[in-house]
Amino acid sequence: MRIILCDKPEDVASYGARLMSQQIKNKPDSVLGLATGSTPIKMYQHVIEQVKKGDLSLAACRSFNLDEYIGLTPDHSQSYRYFMQQNFFNQVDIAVENTFVPDGFADDIEASCVDYESKIQQSGGIDWQLLGIGVNGHIGFNEPGSSLRSRTRVKTLSSQTIEDNARFFSADEFQPQLAITVGIETIMQARDIVLLATGSAKAAAVKATAEGPVSASCPASILQFHPNVKLIVDAEAGQDLEHKQFYLRIEEETQKLMRY
Ligand code: GLP
């Protein structure tokens, strides 16, 4: 796991965007694994700017999102499909039929999970996977206790996650307690993984991910076994890390990229 220390959330966003655009330039028909949440929004904005300037095209890309709430229609303002349309897909040149988000409103949810997993496999697997992290160490909606070999399936959200995400729902609005998420094994099969974390609420999860024992108690810790992970954190999210002297500061990381 390569840990990259940034000062500000803005640096996390711009570096994340740089990695994403580099991936797409190297492989224009990349299969992208995409994430929702507040953390990647700025990063998406940087990528959108590049597309608008004509410096980047996602026309040949396909994308698979990590997760979706069960019980929300795709046009519900809190569904992850809606989030992706608003914050990314509608503003870049990816073809909507090449964007996949689990269907939380399918008649047969179990069958739709199996179908989603096989679509990922049929596409050749994820080339580049973007991740955020939950306060409790979840990736996608793989909550603590998730099987480290799991595939796309239904998960019950933890009370911590429901509480954390309550800010997006109004008081009288239905907030789902179940979600579809790609599995931990599905994520681990991605060829490259970039995890972004900002803010002090993520500090304990970041420490457990990077320096803790590998355990289902912190699902993100499994990433220690992945050969190509970049964990990009701002000063607050990285504040509890004990071995900072071994990690690269963003300036050094950027220079290194320019050298090779
Ligand atoms: C959500 C999503 C995750 C996301 C995480 C962090 O519950 N299912 O994919 O990484 O929570 O969200 P945020 O970036 O808003 O802190």
Which domains, and CATH codes, for the chain?
8-197 (3.40.50.1360)
34 DSSP 8-state letter:
E
For the question of residue 165 being annotated catalytic, the response is: no
Ligand 1 center from residue 203 Cα (angstroms): 14
The catalytic position among 136, 192, 236, 253 is 136
CB-hemisphere CA count at 13 Å for 151? Answer: 13
Contacts of 227 (CB under 8 A, 6+ apart): none
* 8 Å CB contact between 39 and 15: no
* Probe residue for ligand 1, chosen from 12, 39, 152 as the CB with the greatest number of ligand atoms within 8 Å: 39
Spatial separation of the C-alpha atoms in residues 230 and 197, rounded to whole Å? 11
165 within ligand 1 shell (Cβ under 6 A): yes
Position in ligand 1 atom list of the atom nearest CA 66: 9
Is pLDDT larger for residue 248 or for residue 221? 221
CA–centroid distance, 132 to ligand 1, in Å, is: 6
Distance from C-alpha of 104 to C-alpha of 180, rounded to nearest angstrom: 7
Is the pLDDT at 8 greater than 90? The verdict is: yes
Instruction: Give the residue, by CA position, lying nearest to ligand 1 atom 11.
Output: 134
Q: Which ligand 1 atom sits closest to the C-alpha of 181?
A: 8
Residue where the block lists tokens 């990259």 = 4
Please tell me the predicted confidence (pLDDT) of residue 248: 86
Atom of ligand 1 nearest to the CA of 157: 7
Tens-digit pLDDT profile for residues 172-202: 999 999 999 999 999 999 999 999 999 999 9
CB 198 within 8 A of CB 9: yes
> How far, in Å, is the centroid of ligand 1 from the Cα of 133?
6
Neighbours of 80 (CB within 10 A): 25
Q: What is the mean pLDDT of the chain?
A: 96
pLDDT confidence tier of residue 257, bands split at 50, 70 and 90: low
The pLDDT of residue 222 is 98
C-alpha 255 to ligand 1 mean position (Å): 30
Q: Is 55 exposed, middle or buried (0-12, 13-18, 19+ CB in 10 A)?
A: exposed
